[in-house]
């Protein structure tokens, strides 16, 4: 698959065209253990080479905006090839400690300027509020974001982990191109709230962690397979009895993938892509071979029978554990 023939999709009604699969860049700088910059840059360049042009970062991915600074090294020479998405709102200290959520208008402006500087660009293609600030009406936050569009600093606006009613309120202030929330074979709560609202309003949907933070790929067979400095050790779904129960779902998905002649990761991504043309998953990886594997999902068209089989498997396997620890769960679907 070449860069020119990789499938494209449109997010929202304002003409934001992106590759049908994006690349989540968080793990290159934080949360999922050690990584190597040269390898990360090789993956980023390969993504553009094969046509995956939708790159997703955030100001809190890595201490001091490390992930944005990493992307800046790519953007120096390939900015015109990239649809660049970043986020604000999750505030971290200089030591990496999480300090809370800030959606105040003054912070919106300051955060955007800081991201532009780290990224070394004149504008951001898609700017998300990373988490909804319960202390600030979403109308005020989105109002401040709209002024960034007026100033030419941002092209399109997005939200992340916002509930359907919050999305509806935000869209009355300024057009929203996309909602980014967790969505995968083992996280489907958006189907009952946010996703229907997005479709009613013509807002694209960007699933993050579409591979269940790697669990759905079959890469982990036991909790000890996860590195000591990997955040997933703190995730309830990767712990103790929950891990064992969730592994049964992975094994069932693996069997379906074998029948289809693809990998479990490809099946999980194809399932999302086949949920609608308004869906653009952003799996993350730090390996070129995994990037190529994921990209192959864009060519898999599931039949109605195959989708019914997947739905049947999902109905037979309850997912064990919340998708974040308690503190994190308080900030999602807000």
The two tokens of residue 17 are 């065209």
DSSP 267-322: HHHHHHHTT-TTB----B-S-HHHHHHHHHGGG----HHHHHHHHHHHHH-PPPS-
Q: How far apart are CA 39 and CA 96, in angstroms?
A: 23
Q: Which of 61, 107, 128, 183 is catalytic?
A: 61
Q: Are 66 and 29 in contact (CB under 8 A)?
A: yes
The two tokens of residue 324 are 């974040």
Q: Which of 271, 269, 267 is nearest to 255 (CA)?
A: 267
Residue 332: CB atoms within 10 Å = 20
Q: Are 55 and 22 in contact (CB under 8 A)?
A: yes
61 has catalytic annotation: yes
Residue 56: CB atoms within 10 Å = 26
Q: How far apart are CA 264 and CA 301, in angstroms?
A: 15
What is the Cα 10 distance to its own chain's centre? 16
Residue 123: CB atoms within 10 Å = 17
Residue 315: CB atoms within 10 Å = 8
Q: Give, as one character, the DSSP assignment of residue 191.
A: G
The two tokens of residue 282 are 């952003």
Residue 271: CB atoms within 10 Å = 24
Annotated catalytic sites, by residue? 61
């Amino acid at each position: 698959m070449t860069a020119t023939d990789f499938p494209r999709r449109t997010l929202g009604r304002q003409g934001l065209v992106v590759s049908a699969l994006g690349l989540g860049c968080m793990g290159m700088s934080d949360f999922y253990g050690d990584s190597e910059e040269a390898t990360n840059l090789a993956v980023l360049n390969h993504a553009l080479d094969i046509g995956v042009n939708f790159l997703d970062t955030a100001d809190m991915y890595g201490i001091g905006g490390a992930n944005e600074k990493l992307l800046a090294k790519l953007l120096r020479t390939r900015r015109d090839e990239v649809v660049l998405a970043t986020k604000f709102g999750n505030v971290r200290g200089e030591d990496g400690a999480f300090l809370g959520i800030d959606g105040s208008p003054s912070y919106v402006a300051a955060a955007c300027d800081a991201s532009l500087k780290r990224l070394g660009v004149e504008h951001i293609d898609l700017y998300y509020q990373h988490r909804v600030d319960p202390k600030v009406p979403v109308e005020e936050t989105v109002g401040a974001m709209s002024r960034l569009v007026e100033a030419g600093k941002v092209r399109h606006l997005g939200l992340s982990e916002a509930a359907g009613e919050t999305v509806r309120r935000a869209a009355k202030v300024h057009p929203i191109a996309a909602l980014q929330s967790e969505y995968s074979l083992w996280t489907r709560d958006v189907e009952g709230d946010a996703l229907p609202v997005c479709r009613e309003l013509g807002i694209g949907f960007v699933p993050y962690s579409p591979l269940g933070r790697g669990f759905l790929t079959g890469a982990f067979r036991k909790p000890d397979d996860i590195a000591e400095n990997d955040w997933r050790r703190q995730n309830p779904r990767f712990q103790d009895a929950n891990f064992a129960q969730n592994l049964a779902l992975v094994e069932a998905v693996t069997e379906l993938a074998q029948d289809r002649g693809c990998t479990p990761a490809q099946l999980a991504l194809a399932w999302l892509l086949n949920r609608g043309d308004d869906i653009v998953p952003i799996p993350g990886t730090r390996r070129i071979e995994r990037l190529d594997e994921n990209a192959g999902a864009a060519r898999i068209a599931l039949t109605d029978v195959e989708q019914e089989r997947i739905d049947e498997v999902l109905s037979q396997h309850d997912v064990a554990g919340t998708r974040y620890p308690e503190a994190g769960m308080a900030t999602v679907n807000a």
